[in-house]
Every structure is written in structure tokens, then in C-alpha cells.
Structure 1
């Protein structure tokens, strides 16, 4: 997917979360570690919900903000080159799974942070702040839930 505008970024982020949800869900079925399998199921549901939340931002955002160009970041900082399921989650333990998922979320947060800092228009800056806050909150919630699972 060619990412040039903020609308493209939102579509790409939604697709990333949906693909990650599908991958996590599929891997949950074949992971032999019960705790890791439960974590994968939880993360799959969480990612699917997050995809829906990001999708709603695209629906509700102002057209002017969505049409903001942002291709320069992608040229200089290629992130998550693929949204395919290339991480073998079925062979990872809970900590390794969380490391991979947390890293992917951090890359999205870094993208939003950069775009927020570069925004010249208030509507664009506001949109990026809300998206960054959403991703940060959801990443924190996933980490806390994974930690609670480890305590079981």
C-alpha cells in the first residue's frame, strides 16, 4: 500500500491491526503453550477492536486533515514493511509475543508522534494527538493485561 496522506496512514493502520488480529488468532490455535495461546486470543480480539476504533477516526475526521501529505516520513523511516503474518507467534512464549506486538505498536506511535510534530494545521495536529493517545493507551492496556495473565 502506498502511504502518502493521513487518510492512507489511517487505512494502513486499520489494515495493520486487522491483519495482526487475524495472525494472532490463527496462531492461538496452534501454540502449545496454554498461557501463550490465551494471550494470543486476547490480543487478537484487542487488535480487531483497535482496528475498528482507528477506522472510526477515518470516518469522523475532517477531510482537510485526512488530505494532509505525509509521504516524507515513509521515505525516511520505513516501518513495518509488511502487514503479513510473518511472525511465527505459534512458536513464541507469552513474553516473546508481547515483545513483537509492543514493538509494532511502538512503531505506529512513533509515526503518529512524528506526524503530530510536523502538523501545521490545528485539525491535523488534533487528529494526530488523538490517534497517538489512542495507540499509547491501547498498548499500555495490552501490556497490563498480559502482565496479569502472567500472574495467573
Structure 2
């Protein structure tokens, strides 16, 4: 997929997070392990919260920044990717976490690509802010899942 404006990148991130939430919901029904199910249920909630935060960011961001044009920013079709992902019913929490972090990092790669070609300092600052927020969310997510391991 090719993106031309920052608002398209944000739309892609929201759609991708929705696809990830659907993937985790589907896997919840397939997992044998109660701990894997608990983690997947948490991840569904986590993705909904991220979608809400991205939507709020999009609503509050400057139209001038959102309408900024980019060249050569590409990303994957996450809906298709998430539909293709399968883990065995014997999936462990580590399997689930590894898959989730891989998907998260693929989304962060899109923001990194946009940052590299951002045409103005305002747009660079906006993308850096998004990246920082996503990194913090990812760290909190990992810490939360590790706390689940301690239960």
C-alpha cells in the first residue's frame, strides 16, 4: 500500500489496529491455554484503546499537518496479513507476544519511513510525537504482559 498524506497513514494505522484486534479475538477462540486466552483478551482491549487514542490524535491534529503530502511511504495490507496469520491451538503466551510485537514493529516501520521523508519540521515533530507515543504504548504493553506472567 502506498500513502500520500499523513491522514492516510493514520487511517492505515487505525485500520491495522482494528485488524489486529479482530485477529486476537479470533485467536482467543482457538487457544487451548487459559493464560494465552487471557493475554489475547487483554490485547483486544489494548487495540481498542490504541484505536481511540489514534482517532483522538487525528481529530485534534492540525489539518495542515494531516494534509501533508509524502513520497514513497509504503506499508502492508494489515487486514490481509492478519487474516492469514495462524498460530496452533497450543500457542503459548510467548508465541502470542512475539506475534503481537512483530505486528507492532511493522506499523512502527511505516511511521519511521514517513519520518525519513517528512517535508517540514512541523510534520517531523508530529510523526516523532506519534512514534514516541507508540513506543511508550509498546513498552507498557510488554510490561503488562510480563506482569500477567507473574500471576
TM-score bin, normalised by smaller chain: 0.7 to 0.9
Structure having the higher strand fraction is: 2
* Counterpart position of 1:86: 84
C-alpha displacement at 1:89, in angstroms?
Answer: 4.5
- Normalised to the residue count of structure 1, the TM-score between the two structures is 0.87
1:109 aligns with 2:108: yes
Provide the aligned length of Structure 1 versus Structure 2.
148
SS in 1 for 2:119: coil
1:6 maps to which residue? 6
- Cα deviation 1:25-80 (Å, max 9, x = unaligned): 23213311111000000011001110111111111111111112234021xxxx43
Give the TM-score, by structure 2 length.
0.87
Aligned to 1:54: 54
Q: Does 1:130 align with 2:129?
A: yes
8 Å CA contact 2:3–2:73 kept in 1: the answer is no
Gaps of 5+ in 1: none
Secondary structure class of the residue paired with 1:144:
helix
| 3-state DSSP of counterpart to 1:73 | strand
Secondary structure of the corresponding residue to residue 72 of structure 1: strand
How large is the RMSD of aligned CA atoms in angstroms? Answer: 1.8
Counterpart for residue 95 of structure 1: 94
